[in-house]
DNA sequence: ATTATTTCTATCTACCAGATATAAGCTATC
DNA sequence: GATAGCTTATATCTGGTAGATAGAAATAAT
């Protein structure tokens, strides 16, 4: 599955729920799929052009002018199912917090602590947002998509909770560090072992 | 923090542990930091060139020839601490599994189940790898870095466990779906609500 | 010694993320 | 009710990155 196909999948999927303009696509993806997916204009507009050329999508409303929205064609629906059936490609991990903590010996224990606390705080915010989304879903807004949306919300909750638990693990480990005064964090530490 | 600075941070950090060639850097980053960080040649070599120009890193061994390794200079160590102190930038989420499940109505319940099972299986593998890494760490390989490495391993464990728990949630939700026969997954479903 | 094969190192290209530009509606003030 | 300023909506542009590919050195095989 080529890289850009991933964007096509998201765009076709969103249009399968409701016709939208390119701008609206970005907004919807950000708001509804935001906690596990993201697209930028630079991906969406080329993808729409390509999809239109292939007849998977049609432009509706005053062309040339603005606020033209795109609609899924029958071929587009078929293509969407094909794309969804392909194996997902996982993106490369890049966790800036863990990178900093791995080199925590250079950064110093206090800064490490702050980093962990901030991360925990963000995770708590996300957990609250997921619970709110779950409550809103219970009011029955999404029709047939509801159980599937629930699955993605559950993922957000589990992930946020795991981050909170890990933060507490990390704080405990950092606390044991302080007991041994060891090297001052701002002076040159000895060359690392190995 | 510019984007390429992220790579500089990883490169300087790795070199702070031991001098290495560009190729070895890639290997080390993949093996040791692999579960939360990744770099490609296309990032590492330009970063090394830039770091050398700025005097943060020096080329050691037979220049011109091969197997030249890079060493951190004193200025490089200072720079590394600066970079580590900057706020981490979080990368955009792109979870292909959740994307597919969100549009599960188009994909069909059976394919969804398979997707979840595969994800759980991968998470179990990762959990085992993390536990092995923790055991190896207990044998005392990394010197002063040990507690920090432990923190990143704990993150891997928590994350893997969360994925496993979520997979079980998801399977339960999918099971309730089957009870209502609803629409056949391969025939055109009615337009989604909203 | 010479060729084949693997490993190590570096460059090159198509594509993406985010910033920036442009256009359309909306509000307020005269 | 006209016009200037402001906000929202839409599209393009550019620097930078990922992964593929090329090239060089060493090792192994014959």
pLDDT tens by residue, chain B, 194 residues? 666 688 999 999 999 988 898 988 998 898 889 999 999 998 999 899 889 888 999 987 654 445 578 999 999 999 999 999 998 887 889 999 999 999 999 999 999 999 999 999 999 999 999 999 999 888 866 566 789 999 999 999 999 999 999 999 999 999 998 665 544 444 444 444 33
> Which positions in chain B touch A154 (Cβ < 8 Å)?
166, 169-170, 173
Chain A residue with minimal CA distance to B177?
A: A147
pLDDT for residue B31: 87
- As a whole number of Å, the end-to-end CA separation of chain A is 41
pTM of the model: 0.88
pLDDT for residue B59: 85
Which of A154, A188, A194 minimises the CB distance to B143?
A194
Q: How far apart are CA A114 and CA B110, in angstroms?
A: 45
Bridge partners of B72, per DSSP, are: B57
Cβ within 8 Å of residue B174, ≥6 positions away: A147, A151, B109, B112, B113, B116
Chain B closest CA to A119's CA: distance in Å?
10
Q: How far apart are CA A95 and CA B159, in angstroms?
A: 12
pLDDT for residue B109: 95
Query: From the alpha carbon of A7, which nucleotide's C1' atom is closest?
Result: C16
> Chain-wide mean pLDDT for chain A?
86
Residue among A106, A110, A125, A185 with most chain B CBs within 10 A, to mutate: A106
Per the listing, tokens 């490490």 go with: A112
Chain A residue with minimal CA distance to B88?
A: A96
Nearest Cα neighbor of B157 from B192, B130, B118 is B130
Q: Residue B28 belongs to what H/E stretch?
A: helix B22-32
Cβ within 8 Å of residue A183, ≥6 positions away: A189, A190
Strand D nucleotides below 7 A of a protein CB?
A: 9-14, 16-21, 24-26
Residue with the bigger pLDDT between A180 and B65: it is A180
Q: How far apart are CA B25 and CA B15, in angstroms?
A: 8
Residue A191 pLDDT exceeds 50: no
């Amino acid at each position: 599955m080529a890289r850009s196909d991933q964007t096509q999948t998201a765009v076709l999927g969103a249009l399968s729920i409701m016709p939208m303009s390119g701008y609206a696509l970005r907004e919807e993806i950000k708001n509804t799929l935001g906690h596990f997916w993201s697209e930028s204009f630079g991906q969406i507009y080329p993808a729409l052009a390509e999809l239109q050329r292939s007849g998977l999508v049609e432009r509706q409303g005053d062309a040339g002018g603005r606020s033209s929205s795109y609609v899924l064609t029958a071929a587009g629906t078929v293509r969407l199912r094909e794309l969804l059936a392909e194996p997902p490609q996982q993106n490369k991990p890049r966790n800036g917090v863990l990178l900093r903590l791995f080199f925590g010996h250079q950064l110093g224990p206090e800064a490490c602590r702050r980093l962990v606390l901030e991360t925990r705080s963000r995770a708590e915010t996300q957990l609250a947002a997921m619970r709110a989304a779950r409550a809103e879903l219970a009011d029955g807004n999404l029709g047939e998509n509801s159980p599937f949306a629930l699955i993605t919300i559950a993922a957000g909750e589990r992930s946020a909770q795991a981050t909170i638990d890990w933060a507490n693990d990390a704080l405990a480990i950092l606390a044991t560090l302080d007991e041994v005064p060891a090297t001052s964090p701002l002076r040159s530490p000895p060359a690392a072992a190995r």
